[in-house]
């Protein structure tokens, strides 16, 4: 991928984060790079290709992250913590792209959309496997895995709504907070 194309994807992510995919025009993107809209087409084949590239790139990262963790032998609690950490590390690496990934994937064309959903289901399945393991071990309470996985992932994804890359908290700090919340809940166990 050429440096210029990377630059285009970054500008596009930033715009789509605030305006959404559909409301971001190729002229907007071109404008932010101080070139004409038609010049973009020396680097991309269509507007949708931008969205596909952003979404596929993040999907790749999430997928290889969870597969690596589930390939090694660990107990469920450790695996879940690692999965959360991997998810947050990827999310916080490029907030603009993450935002587009999470909120704009519905705008993908039919084929890319089907592929996206397929891969998301796979990712959720890997998380469910961790929960199954935890119940078998007796570490986790009996839960509705499908429900809990969606709830957990939604909690993790909410990070992009408030996280500041140059703020006090490192990605690791954030995943620690989330792991604590997800594992222990709000109630004070001392009381």
**Binding footprint of DNA on the chain (CB under 7 A):** 2, 4, 24-28, 30, 34-43, 45-48
- 3-state SS class at 24: coil
Residue 114 binding target from a copy of itself, DNA, none, CB below 5 to 8 Å by type: none
CA distance linking residue 159 with residue 165, whole number of Å: 11
Residue 160 CB neighbours (<10 A): 19
182 lines the binding site for a copy of itself (CB under 8 A): yes
Q: Which stretch binds a copy of itself (CB under 8 A): 1-9, 53-61, 88-96, 134-142?
A: 134-142
51 lines the binding site for a copy of itself (CB under 8 A): no
Residue 157 binding target from DNA, a copy of itself, none, CB below 5 to 8 Å by type: a copy of itself
CA-based radius of gyration for the chain? 19
CA distance linking residue 67 with residue 76, whole number of Å: 14
C-alpha distance from residue 27 to each of 12, 15, 104, 144 (Å): 11, 11, 19, 47
Residues that bind a copy of itself (CB under 8 A): 18-20, 22-23, 77, 80, 103, 106-107, 131, 134, 138-141, 143-144, 146-148, 150-151, 153-155, 157-158, 161-162, 177-178, 181-189, 191
């Amino acid at each position: 991928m050429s440096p210029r194309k990377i630059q285009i994807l970054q500008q596009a992510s930033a715009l789509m984060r605030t305006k959404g995919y559909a409301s971001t025009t190729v002229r907007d993107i071109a404008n932010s790079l101080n070139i004409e809209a038609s010049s973009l087409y020396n680097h991309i084949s269509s507007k949708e290709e931008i969205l596909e590239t952003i979404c596929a790139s993040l999907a790749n990262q999430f997928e290889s992250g969870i597969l690596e963790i589930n390939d090694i032998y660990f107990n469920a609690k450790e695996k879940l913590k690692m999965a959360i950490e991997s998810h947050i590390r990827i999310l916080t690496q490029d907030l603009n792209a993450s935002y587009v990934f999470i909120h704009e994937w519905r705008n993908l064309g039919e084929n890319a959309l089907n592929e996206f959903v397929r891969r998301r289901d796979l990712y959720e399945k890997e998380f469910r496997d961790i929960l199954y393991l935890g119940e078998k071990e007796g570490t986790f309470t009996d839960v509705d895995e499908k429900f809990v996985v969606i709830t957990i992932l939604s909690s993790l994804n909410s990070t992009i709504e408030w996280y500041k890359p140059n703020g006090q908290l490192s990605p690791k700090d954030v995943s620690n907070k989330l792991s604590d919340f997800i594992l222990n809940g709000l109630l004070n166990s001392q009381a």
